[in-house]
Amino acid sequence: MAIQRTLSIIKPDAVAKNVIGDIIRRFEENGLSVIAARMLHLSAEEAGRFYAVHKERPFYKDLCAYMSSGPILAMVLEGQNAVALNRQLMGATNPKEAEAGTIRADHAESIEANSVHGSDSVENAATEVAFFFGDIELHSRR
Ligand code: CMP
């Protein structure tokens, strides 16, 4: 398995619930390292650019409004098989379908307020990391 990087976002619902530490603990206990982190409050336009791949989906406008409703924590996670491992730790997009013990099963409120985002492929991870971070902001532990 390769060492990979992936983008993780702790979304407004989880920031508001004060569970940032619990979520990062799960990443670290499962072998992922936080190699970059920044808290920011996106505008709806910025959220729209990040989620441009969903532009045609019926939930796009609500998603942009939601993601700009409060502060988020954007992070880069690094580790063995980081993309798939992060998605496993997050659980299914819809918390009603998320496996017990996953972040979304434990913290998410709805399919929209689902606590975390994680890149879905190595290719998309590179694009999503570059959306938030420049090279000199990434502090690899390798
Ligand atoms: P995320 O992994 O951040 O990627 C896109 C987001 O759109 C997703 O999590 C959900 O929070 C949100 N979303 C809202 N409604 C839906 C839906 N019906 N299907 C998939 N994603 C949705």
Please name the residue whose Cα sits nearest to atom 4 of ligand 1. Answer: 117
What pLDDT is stored for residue 142 in this prediction?
84
* Mean pLDDT to the nearest integer, 111-134: 98
Q: What is the pLDDT of residues 77-98, one digit of tens each?
A: 999 999 999 999 999 999 999 9
Closest CA to 67 of 58, 79, 59, 57: 59
**Averaged pLDDT score across all residues of the chain:** 98
Q: Please, which residues have CB within 8 angstroms of residue 142's CB and are 6 or more apart in sequence?
A: 3, 78
- Best substitution site from 7, 93, 107, 119 to test ligand 1's pocket, by max atoms within 8 Å of Cβ? 93
What pLDDT is stored for residue 1 in this prediction?
72
Quickly list H helices, 1-142: 12-16, 20-29, 44-50, 60-67, 82-90, 103-107, 122-132
Please name the residue whose Cα sits nearest to atom 12 of ligand 1. Answer: 112
**117 in catalytic set:** yes
Tokens of 115: 């606590």
Q: What is the pLDDT of residues 18-48, one digit of tens each?
A: 999 999 999 999 999 999 999 999 999 999 9
Q: Which atom of ligand 1 is nearest to the CA of 66?
A: 11
* Mean pLDDT to the nearest integer, 65-74: 98
DSSP string, 5-31: EEEEEE-HHHHHTT-HHHHHHHHHHTT
- In the chain, the percentage of residues whose pLDDT exceeds 70 is 100
**Binding site membership of 114 for ligand 1 (Cβ less than 6 Å):** yes
Put simply, whether the predicted model's pTM sits higher than 0.95 gets the answer: yes
What's the angle, vertex CA 53, arms to CA 112 and CA 26, rounded to 5?
Answer: 50
- Between the CA of 93 and the centroid of ligand 1 the distance, in Å, is 6
**Binding site membership of 26 for ligand 1 (Cβ less than 6 Å):** no
Please name the residue whose Cα sits nearest to atom 13 of ligand 1. Answer: 112
Please name the residue whose Cα sits nearest to atom 2 of ligand 1. Answer: 117
Nearest-angstrom CA–CA distance, 128 and 141: 20
What's the angle, vertex CA 91, arms to CA 123 and CA 104, rounded to 5?
Answer: 120
76 and 35 Cβ atoms separated by less than 8 Å: yes
Q: Which atom of ligand 1 is nearest to the CA of 114?
A: 11
The neighbouring-strand residues paired with 138 are none
Nearest-angstrom CA–CA distance, 49 and 47: 5
